[in-house]
Amino acid sequence: MTTGSTSATTPEAVIRRAASLRDTLSRGFRDEAVRSLYAEASRIADRATVRDGARLDIDQRIDALVTSPILGLPIMALLLAIVFWLTVAGANVPSAMLAEGLFWIEGLGVRMFEAIGLPWWITGFVWNGVYRGLAWVVSVMLPPMAIFFPMFTILEDLGYLPRVAFNLDFLFRRAGAHGKQALSMAMGFGCNAAGVIATRVIDSPRERLVAILTNNFVPCNGRYPTLIMLATIFVGAAFPPAFASFAAAGAVMAVVLIGVGVTLVVSWALSRTILKGEASAFTLELPPYRRPGILRIIYTSLIDRTLFVLWRAMLTAAPAGAVIWILANVHVGGASIAQHTADALGPLGHAIGLDGAVLLAYIIAIPANEIVVPTLMMIYLGTGMMTDVTSFEDLRRVLVDENGWTMLTAVNLMLFSLLHNPCATTILTIYKETLSARWATIGALMPLGLAFIVTFLVATIWRLVA
Amino acid sequence: MRPLLLILAALAVVVALAWRHWTHRVVRERHRIEDALKHLFDQEYRGRHASLTSLKGTLHLPDGPVLALVARMQALDLVRARGQEFDLTPEGERLALQVVRAHRLLERYFADEARLPLSQVHAAAERHEHSLSAEAANRLAADLGHPTVDPHGDPIPSREGDVPPAVGVPATSWTPETTGRIVHLEDEPPISFAQIVAEGLRVGQTVRVIERTPTRVVLTDGENEYRFAPAVAANVFLAPAPAHTAAAGVVRLPDLPDHVLAEITGLDDRCQGFSRRRMMDLGFTDGARIEPILRTFAGDPRAYRIRGTVVAVRRDQAEHVIVRPLDTATRGLA
């Protein structure tokens, strides 16, 4: 065909000509286009930039250390342990202060309502129900998040997190998952809803879904109180007082590592069943290390993450507080609805090594896992509102002596807490991220089913052996 | 009053069921016709003729329904019978090309973008080919960058209906000890295709026939040996290899030792679609300098310095990058 200018003027003719010319293109014309773009870009860059060899050298030395085949993983575990320890240890005092302050306001509100002569049930519903639910979530959740998220953001800003993904990729590759799932998983330690959002860095849809559905298997801030309580009462108490806190911390770390293991196993199973596919391109840039920007860290960690997550949790905790109050204060035939429900759930609870009260606490705590322990105490003590037991000795007395908890109960509660369905906020986030009710449902029911199966197996085997 | 309502309700249910059954039958018949056309086209393309027996085998149907189907296709003027054999009419060929084009484009999509395992690509395309309109197929082709072959190496008909002739020689008739590039892996019968894929052969791979006896054919890509029965090896089609992969002094990126500077000479043809775009985006282009600088505890992935940044790549991606190590004399220039 000659390049006659008169023949190809109608749109159809142009398209036809383009189609015929397409066949004559060399196979690699796309590669050629990219290559020439890069050639031009590097020509401009070479003319305009000066390379700092010393900077490069420092980066390379740090990289050689933190990704070293021998020291890389231990350094990572150590950093993780430090972040956990700081979060747990640092959050205790502010949590207690917040709780004291917020519950003082509750007392004030109750007295005010009583002074103007409102009936007891309005006072109870508003202050002991809705307000107490909110106060609890804020005081339990805010301090650890305000410590965890800034530390996490510092590591992120430094450029350390991509190195974590690099170190852990060999595990995720074998699980058929994306290496960047390590990043969203790390985020999940702060909050699973934030972890689900963090999966946006994964560009392959299949692997992103794997990351979303398994994020729940690392315990979040809301679940640490339960884990720490159990570790202190049941594991710590078995050691001499000097080692108790380390033993307890070790137990929490062990649960966390089990969670990482479950994440990998479930990712592996998903990639071979409902999310079948091959590992996609894993290409991860390891950016140069940077000095963290303080303002940016404060903004990202406090505004974007902490307050965002807290706000969502409060939205779900307020109605939960109301429901808990109603369940505990409406009496049918001499016992509260809560008591009746706990009795009805008893056999199921027993089958998985727990009891009806624990299951009820988990059903009520679907909106926010923080309120599991207070709700449990409320049911056990028969009070009409969420209750805190301040000392671990009292707690031990209530659980072991009065309600017959054993080591099996503790182990299974830890497992259940680790594996069960994500909180309502996370389920909602899964829905928003996938825009699919189906994946949100699977994201909620798959962990729940797994939790039941695992705890049932553990309970059955335990009872057979013991 | 009540009985009347009941009767009406029952009638409505019967009508609804009949309607569903009927539409279902119409749809199923269309799918069967399209599958039959595809088979006829495939036979003609390979220079063979379709018969009742071959149709029966492909459609997994007994004699009666196949005969009825052929009669229906003749009535629609899609097929002409010539003795025992069938030929496509021009209209039949046009429809067949449409289905084949949809099927192969979908295969390309499932393999490159959805990253389905190669053994499942064919079945997934079979499920979706009937619901892809010609216009949707054109859009898909444009999105995929107008691919010319499917993942098995079969040509994709153009929108005008042109199909390039079949290329390649079966491995059973390829000259031993000469290098060839795999251009086509026949996906029928599925059992032998599954074996070929499981052994690790892919379209675009460069191989050599090192042994050819009546009982077995052995291929090698330089590292691994692939042994097949001749019946299976006949489904592997080879063509002369292009120059750059056969060039001397080049290695694949995972084989480059740590801290040795090299120059990229090309990306493997096996790396297509999403993966290829990703590699190109990161600057893995011909002529770029690359140096492996970090290796994890498991040895995979490795991190490479390229174009002033550090990028970690898994081994199975790095496999596709062909590099030429630069000797120490030229290192100073980097």
Q: What's B126's domain CATH number?
A: 1.10.60.10
Is ipTM strictly over 0.95? no
Helix (H) or strand (E) holding A60: helix A53-66
Q: With contacts defined as CB-CB under 8 Å, which chain B residues touch A284?
A: 301, 311-313
Domain identity same for B218 and B259: no
Q: How many domains does chain B have?
A: 4
From the list B115, B120, B311, which residue is nearest A204 (CB)? B115
Last residue of a domain, one of B68, B88, B108: B88
Distance CA A341, CA B268 (A): 64
Distance CA B263, CA B290 (A): 6
- Domain assignment of residue B151, yes or no: no
Q: How many A×B Cβ pairs under 8 Å?
A: 122
Domain identity same for B82 and B9: yes
Higher pLDDT, A43 or A228: A43
Query: What is the chain B residue with the closest CA to A74?
Result: B297
Distance between A156 CA and the closest CA of chain B, angstroms: 17
Q: Do B278 and A63 touch (CB under 8 A)?
A: no
From the list B278, B279, B296, which residue is nearest A166 (CB)? B296
Q: Do B285 and A35 touch (CB under 8 A)?
A: yes
Q: Which of A22, A23, A283, A290 would you mutate first to test chain B, the one with the most B CBs within 10 A?
A: A283
Query: In this structure, how many other beta carbons lie within 10 angstroms of the beta carbon of residue A460?
Result: 13
Query: What is the chain B residue with the closest CA to A35?
Result: B285
Domain identity same for B309 and B260: yes
- Domain assignment of residue B152, yes or no: no
Distance between B118 CA and the closest CA of chain A, angstroms: 9
Residue with token string 């460069």: B206
Q: Do B311 and A70 touch (CB under 8 A)?
A: no
- Domain assignment of residue B246, yes or no: no
Domain identity same for B217 and B200: yes
Place A455 in a pLDDT band, splitting at 50, 70 and 90: very high
- Domain limits for position B228: 169-241
What value does the mean pLDDT take over residues A434-462?
93
Distance CA B153, CA B180 (A): 14
Distance between B267 CA and the closest CA of chain A, angstroms: 9
Inter-residue contact A313 to A428 (CB < 8 Å): no
CATH code, domain with B256: 2.30.30.90
- Domain assignment of residue B155, yes or no: no
Residue with token string 């995979």: B300
From the list B160, B279, B312, which residue is nearest A19 (CB)? B160
CATH code, domain with B36: 1.10.10.10
Last residue of a domain, one of B179, B209, B241: B241
Last residue of a domain, one of B222, B241, B260: B241
pLDDT at site A190: 78
Distance between B233 CA and the closest CA of chain A, angstroms: 26
Residue A30 amino acid letter:
R
pLDDT at site B329: 45
Q: How far is CA B42 from the centre of its chain?
A: 15
Q: With contacts defined as CB-CB under 8 Å, which chain B residues touch A277?
A: 114-117
- Domain assignment of residue B173, yes or no: yes
How does pLDDT run along chain B (334 residues), one tens digit per residue? 677 788 888 888 888 888 888 888 888 888 888 888 888 888 888 777 778 888 888 888 888 888 888 888 888 888 888 877 888 888 888 888 999 999 999 998 888 877 777 778 888 888 888 888 888 888 888 888 788 888 888 888 888 788 877 778 888 888 888 888 888 888 777 788 888 888 888 887 888 888 888 888 888 877 788 888 888 888 888 888 765 555 567 888 998 998 899 999 888 877 777 788 888 888 898 888 999 998 887 778 899 999 888 999 988 888 889 899 986 544 444 3
Strands B236-240 and B179-185: antiparallel
- Domain assignment of residue B163, yes or no: no
Place A209 in a pLDDT band, splitting at 50, 70 and 90: very high
- Domain assignment of residue B206, yes or no: yes
The contacts of residue A102 (CB under 8 Å, 6+ apart) are A135, A138, A139
Q: Is the pLDDT of residue A221 over 80?
A: no
From chain A, which residues contact B within 8 Å (Cβ)? 16, 19, 22-23, 27, 30-31, 34-35, 38-39, 42, 45, 51, 60, 63-64, 67, 69-70, 72-73, 162, 165-167, 169-170, 173, 179, 204, 206, 276-287
From the list B267, B287, B295, which residue is nearest A69 (CB)? B295
Inter-residue contact A16 to B156 (CB < 8 Å): no
Q: Is the pLDDT of residue A80 over 90?
A: no
- Domain assignment of residue B149, yes or no: no
Average pLDDT of chain B is 83
Note the pLDDT tens digit of each residue in B199-257: 888 887 888 888 888 888 888 877 788 888 888 888 888 888 765 555 567 888 998 99
Q: Is the pLDDT of residue A181 over 70?
A: yes
Q: Do B294 and A72 touch (CB under 8 A)?
A: no
Domain identity same for B305 and B266: yes
CA distances from A153 to A83, A105, A178, A192, A284 (A): 12, 33, 21, 16, 19
Distance CA B237, CA B173 (A): 9
Q: With contacts defined as CB-CB under 8 Å, which chain B residues touch A178?
A: none
What value does the mean pLDDT take over residues A66-87?
84
Q: What is the DSSP letter of B170?
A: E
Note the pLDDT tens digit of each residue in A153-176: 888 888 888 888 898 888 888 888
Average pLDDT of chain A is 83
| Sign of the alpha-carbon dihedral angle for B30, B109, A215, A202 | negative
Q: With contacts defined as CB-CB under 8 Å, which chain B residues touch A51?
A: 308
Strand partners, B292: B304
Domain identity same for B259 and B224: no
Q: What is the DSSP letter of A420?
A: S
Q: With contacts defined as CB-CB under 8 Å, which chain A residues touch B308?
A: 45, 51
Q: Do B283 and A60 touch (CB under 8 A)?
A: no
Q: Do B312 and A30 touch (CB under 8 A)?
A: no
pLDDT at site B248: 67
Residue A188 amino acid letter:
G
